[in-house]
C-alpha cells in the first residue's frame, strides 16, 4: 500500500495518541542534546518504522521549556554522519549562539560537540532545528519545540486557558515500505517549484494523532509548522479558535476560522471544548486545491467535565515594546526572482554574473536582488539601533516564507494596503505579486541570515545575510 494523502484519512483504526514531549534529562555539568539516527512509527500501524534522524531519540525532539529570562544550556553532541548545527528559531539571542553553520559558528563534525548557552528573553512558542543541509536534515526529523513560558502567570487567570498542549506538525515523503524517499533529497525540480512536499503529515510524530482533552476546558494549543516546504492552512471545526500569539509574539485576541502557517511559522490559539462533546473534534489541513483532510483530532479523555468558561479569551501579557520610529528609516528592498516559470535569466554567483544555464549547473535557480545565494557580501549593513523598513517583492510564481534571524519585525502592509493587525513576526509569507512591507530595529549586533524557509529554495539561491553594528 503506497503512503498517500488517503492514508491520512484511513489510519483511524490504528489511531495514535499524541505522545508527550518530555524534558531532557540533565547531565552532571550540562544537559545533553544529541542528534543521532533512530527510528519512528510515522506511517500507520501495519507498516514498519521509518529510519530518521532525531534529537534525543524522539520525533519531534524533546521539548525544551524555560521561563522568560532563564538560560537555555545544552551540550550538543553530533552522532550523525554529516556536519550539523542547531538553530534556535525566533529567539533573540547573541549572534554566536544562533547556530547557523558557516556564519555564526563552524559546523559540528560527526563525533563533535558544541555548547549552546543563552538567555531566552521573550515568552512564546519557538523551536529548534538543524541549520546545515537543513533541506535534508530537517526533512529527516531534526526539529523540536522550544517553549518559553510567561514570566508572569497567565494560565488559570480569568479568561485564560486552563491547560496547554504543543502540536508540532511535520511533512514527510515516505516510500511504500515507510522509509524516507531519500532519492528526492536535493531534487532540483522540487526546489524550483513549491519545494519538496511530502505525502504524510504528522502531529508530534503521529499520523492521525489523538489529543485527549477534558470536556469544558479552555485549551491553549501551540501550533508549529516544522515542514521544509509545505504551507499548512488549518481549521478546527466546532472549536471557534481564538488567536493569541503569532511566532511567539502576543497579539490582541481575535477569531481565526482558518490558521495559515508557512514553514517555520507558529500560532498560539485558545479553544473551548464543549462539556457536551460527544465525538472527536477534527484538526483539518488543506492538502492543496481546497482538499481538506483530517490530520488528527481532539478526543474525550474521559475525565469529569469542567464548568465551561463563558467570557472572552484573556490576552497574554504584553512583554515587548511594540513602538517603532518610522520617521526616517533605512530603506531596503528584497526582490525574489527565479524558480519555475520565473524567467530568471542571469544572477550573480561567486562574484561573477552567470547565465541561467550556469546557474542550473550550480544548482541555483532562485535569487534575491539578482544574487543567487552568493554569501560574499551582505544584502545590507545597518548601524546598531537603526530602524529598517524593508519592502519584500515576490516576482516569482510561488509563495515564500521569509525569515530574519536575530530580530523580530512588524508587518506594515500587504499588497500596498496597510496591514490591519501589524503583527510582530520572525517569518512572513509573501505571495506572488503581493508585496509586503516590514520594519524592525536592528538592535542585535552581528551577521544574521535572511532567507526563505522553504528550505529547498534557501539551498538553491534564496539566502543572504545582513550585518548590524
**What pTM was estimated for this model as a whole?**
0.94
Residues 6+ apart with CB under 8 A from 343: none
Domain 163-300 has CATH 3.40.50.10540: no
State the span(s) of the chain assigned CATH 2.60.40.420: 5-149, 163-300, 330-468
Instruction: Report the pLDDT value the prediction gives residue 193, as an integer from 0 to 100.
Output: 97
The pLDDT of residue 169: 98
Residue 28 has a pLDDT of 55
pLDDT digits (tens, 9 = 90+) for 94-117: 999 999 999 999 999 999 999 999
Task: Look at residue 15 in the predicted model and tell me its pLDDT.
Answer: 34
The predicted pLDDT at position 425 comes to 97
pLDDT tens readout for residues 127-141: 999 999 999 999 999
- Give one DSSP letter per residue of 285-337, joined into a string: EE-STT-EEEEEEEEE--PPPPPPP-SPPPPPPP-S------SSPEEEEEEEE
Q: What is the mean pLDDT of residues 337-366?
A: 95
Whole-angstrom distance, CA of residue 98 vs CA of residue 131: 10
Confidence label for 30 from pLDDT (cuts 50, 70 and 90): very high
* pLDDT surpassing 80 at residue 166: yes
How confident is the model at residue 318, as a pLDDT? Answer: 82
What's the CA gap between 218 and 302, in Å, rounded? Answer: 16
Neighbours of 344 (CB within 10 A): 23
CATH number, span 5-149: 2.60.40.420
Q: How confident is the model at residue 1 (pLDDT cuts 50, 70, 90)?
A: very low
Cα 337–chain centre separation: 23
Give the lowest-confidence range in 33-42, 165-174, 309-318, 433-442: 309-318
Peptide bond into 272 cis (omega under 30): no
| Lowest pLDDT segment from 259-263, 276-280, 403-407 | 276-280
pLDDT (tens digit per residue) in 2-18: 444 434 433 333 333 44
Closest CA to 325 of 222, 230, 442, 189: 442
Report residue 322's pLDDT band, with 50, 70 and 90 as the boundaries: low
DSSP-assigned beta bridge partners for residue 52: 38
- Kindly state the percentage of the chain with pLDDT values over 90: 90
List the end-to-end C-alpha distance of the chain, in Å, as a whole number: 56
Q: Which pLDDT belongs to residue 3?
A: 40
Sort residue 325 into left (φ over 0), alpha (ψ -120 to 50) or beta.
beta
Instruction: Write the CB contacts of 194 (distance below 8 Å, at least 6 apart in sequence).
Output: 229, 398, 399, 454
What digits encode the pLDDT tens for the residues 72-96? 999 999 999 999 999 999 999 999 9
Alpha helices in 155-196 (DSSP H): 188-192
The CATH homologous superfamily to which domain 330-468 belongs is Cupredoxins -  blue copper proteins (2.60.40.420)
Is 19 a residue whose pLDDT tops 60? no
Q: Which pLDDT tens digit goes with each residue over 42-72?
A: 999 999 999 999 999 999 999 999 999 999 9
Q: Which comes out higher in pLDDT, residue 322 or 68?
A: 68
- What is the C-alpha separation between 410 and 79, in angstroms, rounded? 39
More confident residue, 145 or 10: 145
**Mean pLDDT in the chain?**
93
For the residues 364-392, what does the mean pLDDT come to?
A: 97
Amino acid at each position: 500500500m503506497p503512503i498517500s494523502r488517503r492514508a491520512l484519512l484511513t489510519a483511524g483504526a490504528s489511531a495514535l495518541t499524541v505522545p508527550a514531549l518530555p524534558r531532557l534529562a540533565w547531565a552532571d555539568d550540562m544537559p545533553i542534546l544529541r542528534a543521532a539516527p533512530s527510528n519512528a512509527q510515522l506511517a500507520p500501524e501495519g507498516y514498519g518504522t521509518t529510519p530518521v534522524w532525531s534529537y534525543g531519540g524522539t520525533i519531534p525532539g524533546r521539548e525544551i521549556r524555560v521561563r522568560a529570562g532563564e538560560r537555555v544550556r545544552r551540550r550538543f553532541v553530533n552522532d550523525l554522519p554529516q556536519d550539523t548545527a542547531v538553530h534556535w528559531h525566533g529567539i533573540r539571542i547573541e549572534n554566536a549562539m544562533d547556530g547557523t553553520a558557516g556564519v555564526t559558528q563552524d559546523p559540528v563534525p560527526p563525533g563533535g560537540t558544541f555548547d549552546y548557552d543563552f538567555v531566552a528573553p521573550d515568552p512564546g512558542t519557538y523551536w529548534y532545528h538543524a541549520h546545515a543541509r537543513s533541506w535534508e536534515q530537517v526533512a529527516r526529523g531534526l526539529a523540536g519545540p522550544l517553549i518559553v513560558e510567561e514570566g508572569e502567570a497567565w494560565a488559570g487567570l480569568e479568561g485564560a486557558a486552563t491547560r496547554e498542549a504543543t502540536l508540532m506538525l511535520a511533512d514527510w515523503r515516505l516510500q511504500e515500505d515507510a522509509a524516507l524517499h531519500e532519492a528526492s533529497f536535493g531534487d532540483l525540480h522540487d526546489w524550483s517549484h513549491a519545494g519538496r512536499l511530502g505525502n504524510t503529515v504528522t502531529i508530534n510524530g503521529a499520523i492521525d494523532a489523538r489529543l485527549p482533552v477534558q470536556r469544558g476546558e479552555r485549551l491553549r494549543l501551540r501550533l508549529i509548522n516544522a515542514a521544509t516546504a509545505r504551507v499548512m492552512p488549518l481549521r478546527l471545526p466546532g472549536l471557534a479558535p481564538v488567536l493569541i500569539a503569532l511566532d511567539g509574539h502576543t497579539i490582541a485576541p481575535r477569531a481565526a476560522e482558518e490558521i495559515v502557517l508557512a514553514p517555520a511559522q507558529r500560532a498560539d490559539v485558545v479553544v473551548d471544548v464543549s462539556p457536551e462533546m460527544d465525538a472527536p473534534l477534527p484538526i483539518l489541513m488543506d492538502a492543496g486545491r481546497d482538499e481538506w483532510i483530517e490530520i488528527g483530532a481532539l478526543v474525550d479523555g474521559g475525565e469529569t467535565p469542567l464548568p465551561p468558561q463563558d467570557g472572552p479569551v484573556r490576552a497574554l501579557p504584553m512583554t515587548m515594546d511594540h513602538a517603532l520610529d518610522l520617521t526616517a528609516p533605512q530603506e531596503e528592498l528584497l526582490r525574489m526572482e527565479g524558480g519555475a516559470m520565473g524567467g530568471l535569466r542571469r544572477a550573480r554567483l561567486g562574484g561573477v554574473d552567470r547565465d541561467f544555464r550556469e546557474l542550473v549547473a550550480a544548482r541555483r535557480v532562485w535569487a534575491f536582488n539578482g544574487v543567487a545565494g552568493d554569501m560574499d557580501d551582505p544584502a545590507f549593513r545597518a548601524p546598531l539601533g537603526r530602524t529598517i523598513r524593508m519592502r519584500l517583492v515576490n516576482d516569482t510564481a510561488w509563495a515564500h516564507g521569509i525569515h530574519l534571524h536575530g530580530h523580530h519585525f512588524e508587518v506594515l502592509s500587504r499588497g500596498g494596503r496597510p496591514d490591519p493587525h501589524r503583527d510582530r513576526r520572525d517569518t512572513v509569507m509573501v505571495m506572488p505579486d503581493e508585496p509586503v512591507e516590514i520594519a524592525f530595529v536592528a538592535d542585535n549586533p552581528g551577521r544574521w541570515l535572511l532567507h526563505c524557509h522553504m528550505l529547498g529554495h534557501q539551498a538553491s539561491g534564496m539566502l543572504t545575510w545582513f550585518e548590524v553594528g
